[in-house]
């Protein structure tokens, strides 16, 4: 056999071994840290949180976190979280919109070939069916601007879209992962100020309603302007809406990062994502009852209050 052929085969085998290894289990080390102090929120009794799934994608645990199995089929929820506050109704992310079939074609071919999506009733229509006029929303807060989080914005014309200034710059930078956000054209974008001081170990925060019930923190990593939202209800229920920091809850519970290939494809700063996963892991451990909500873990979404149509 020719020497170059042997060399190529050895290289190929080494690459295949490295790729297989990158999917193997690797729990991130969790160093001890100072205890977290949770400022006392003053949520109004009317504050409520609802999940609105507007579709899903079929995937595998192995693609979501290191150590997940390829035979472990997972449903990735695609949708919005609705927060109803006396000062106004807010959506976190916009889920799949009415034109999702066209929107999915703005994504990389590899994603289109390797995953199948299923569309359900879009968020704007789900709101209307529940007796909530979408045109009266106070705004949509984007955890980040990837296509599956902005698709439904098209059905919500004129609604303010709140996001981190770095995420708006990411959209305007021409990065391929924000292609759909650019195609959706001019939106009423409003950038968030993070001037409300440190919060749960994050350096700065934005208290959305001024009562500590919905607090946003900067969490750059998955994208440059990713954010996390903490929501505290009057009955003591508390949630962390973490966007795509982890796709499935094991990312936080183990904690474990995405395998190399998906990490390379979707994460802007993998080291920052690792640090945030460890931080969230510690928060979940130390704040009893904190429900960490990855944007795409259907099992977690199924346990949230669901927005149902009015009879
Ligand atoms: Zn994303």
CA of 143 to the centre of ligand 1 (A): 9
The pLDDT of residue 1 is above 70? no
CA of 175 to the centre of ligand 1 (A): 13
The pLDDT of residue 11 is above 80? no
Q: What is the pLDDT of residues 16-74, one digit of tens each?
A: 766 777 788 888 889 887 788 888 899 999 999 999 999 999 999 999 999 999 999 99
Contact partners, residue 84, CB within 8 Å, separation at least 6: 46, 47, 48, 49, 50
Please give the angle made by the CA atoms of 273, 279 and 282, to the nearest 5 degrees.
145
Give the chain's length. 311
What number of CA atoms fall less than 13 Å from residue 134's CA on the CB side?
A: 19
Q: Which CATH architecture has domain 41-302?
A: 4-Layer Sandwich (3.60)
CA of 2 to the centre of ligand 1 (A): 45
Exposed, middle or buried: residue 110 (CB in 10 Å: 0-12, 13-18, 19+)?
exposed
Mean pLDDT for 294-307 is 97
Please give the angle made by the CA atoms of 49, 52 and 56, to the nearest 5 degrees.
140
CA of 223 to the centre of ligand 1 (A): 7
pLDDT score for 36 = 85
CA of 7 to the centre of ligand 1 (A): 38
pLDDT band at 12 (very low <50, low <70, confident <90, very high): confident
Per-domain boundaries in the chain: 41-302
Cα 275 from Cα 257, distance rounded (Å) = 10
Cα 311 from Cα 97, distance rounded (Å) = 24
Cα 73 from Cα 104, distance rounded (Å) = 21
pLDDT score for 115 = 75
75 and 33 Cβ atoms separated by less than 8 Å: no
Q: What is the pLDDT of residues 90-143, one digit of tens each?
A: 999 999 999 999 999 998 887 788 778 999 999 999 999 999 999 999 999 999
Q: What is the pLDDT of residues 145-170, one digit of tens each?
A: 999 999 999 999 999 999 999 999 99
Count of beta carbons in the 10 Å neighbourhood of residue 14: 10
Cα 90 from Cα 45, distance rounded (Å) = 16
CA of 241 to the centre of ligand 1 (A): 13
**Residue (of 127, 80, 46, 96) closest to 310 by Cα position:** 127
CA of 40 to the centre of ligand 1 (A): 31
What number of CA atoms fall less than 13 Å from residue 44's CA on the CB side?
A: 12
pLDDT score for 26 = 84
Instruction: Give pTM, 2 decimals.
Output: 0.93
CA of 33 to the centre of ligand 1 (A): 28
State the DSSP H helix or E strand holding residue 230, giving kind and residue range, or none if neither.
Answer: strand 227-232
Q: What is the pLDDT of residues 205-261, one digit of tens each?
A: 999 999 999 999 999 999 999 999 999 999 999 999 999 999 999 999 999 999 999
pLDDT score for 19 = 73
């Amino acid at each position: 056999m020719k020497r170059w052929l042997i060399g190529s085969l050895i290289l190929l085998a080494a690459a295949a071994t490295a790729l297989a290894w990158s999917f193997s289990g690797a729990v991130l080390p969790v160093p001890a840290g100072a205890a977290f102090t949770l400022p006392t929120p003053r949520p109004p009794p009317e504050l409520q949180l609802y999940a609105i799934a507007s579709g899903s994608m079929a995937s595998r645990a192995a693609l979501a976190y290191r150590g997940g199995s390829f035979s472990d089929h997972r449903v990735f929820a695609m949708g919005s979280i609705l927060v109803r506050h006396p000062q106004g109704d807010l959506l976190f992310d916009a889920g799949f919109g009415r034109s999702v079939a066209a929107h999915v074609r703005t994504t990389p071919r590899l994603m289109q070939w390797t995953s199948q999506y299923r569309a359900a009733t879009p968020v704007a229509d789900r709101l209307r069916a529940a007796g909530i006029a979408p045109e009266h929303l106070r705004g949509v807060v984007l955890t980040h601007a990837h296509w599956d989080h902005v698709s439904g914005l098209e059905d919500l014309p004129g609604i303010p879209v709140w996001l981190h200034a770095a995420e708006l710059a990411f959209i305007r930078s021409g990065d391929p992962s924000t292609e759909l956000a650019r195609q959706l054209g001019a939106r009423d974008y409003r950038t968030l100020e993070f001037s409300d001081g440190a919060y749960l170990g994050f350096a700065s925060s934005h208290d959305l309603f001024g009562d500590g019930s919905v607090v946003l923190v900067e969490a750059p990593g998955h994208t440059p302007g990713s954010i996390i939202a903490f929501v505290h209800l009057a009955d003591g229920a508390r949630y962390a809406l973490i966007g795509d920091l982890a796709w499935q809850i094991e990312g936080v519970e183990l904690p474990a990062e995405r395998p190399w290939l998906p990490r390379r494809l979707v994460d802007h700063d993998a080291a920052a994502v690792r640090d945030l996963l460890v931080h969230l892991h510690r928060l979940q451990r130390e704040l009893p009852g904190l429900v960490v909500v990855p944007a795409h873990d259907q099992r977690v979404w199924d346990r949230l209050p669901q927005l149902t149509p009015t009879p």
